[in-house]
Structure 1
Amino acid sequence: MRAAVWNTRAALLYSLGGWTMLGAMIHYSRTSGGDIAGENESDPQAQQGPRQEVFVTDTAFGLRVTTTITYREVQPPITRLLRRVKSFFYPNDVPPSEN
């Protein structure tokens, strides 16, 4: 009987935490559109602008082919939220690498 009561309490606590997290994520993404003023100040990956890579290839016939690839960092709100939560547990005071 004790095991059933403990199992019920644990299930209620687990479900309450899950629904609270889900509700917070929905509220966070709807009320502020996922952007909070000052959110991107401490996230070095969010401060990066579009990144471009240019590849130049010379073919056998003397033609030059230039390929430009532009990467944009468009992060869904859940990624920003998870990075923020992670930053509380693992603070990163090291400047970002150039890679």
Structure 2
Amino acid sequence: MKPARAAVWNARAALLYSLGGWTALGGLIYYSRMEKASTEGENDPAANEGIRKEVRVKEYPFGLTVRTEITYREEQPPITRLLRRVVSFFVPDDSPPSEK
């Protein structure tokens, strides 16, 4: 390989690696701030509307009682939120805007 061609290849590889590194760092900072914002609203009753609890009590002979409490949250993994946000840029949404 000629030195000029090797230098061009080296520059392209460096650009690719730096772009990937800065993208990963930017995503880490973005999602860490999103997590902080979501944990601040946990004490807010309006923010807890998506949480649903289900309690099951089963009684057995000899006075044994088993109580099971299941909590459902409307929470998605970060990668799912990211993919849905990216898809929303390319897929038009014809539904009326929400009232939030």
Q: TM-score range by the shorter chain?
A: 0.3 to 0.5
Question: How does the TM-score come out when normalised to structure 2?
Answer: 0.47
Rg (Cα) greater in structure: 2
**Higher RCO, Cα 8 Å, sep 6+:** 1
Structure (1 or 2) with the greater helix fraction: 2
TM-score by length of 1: 0.48
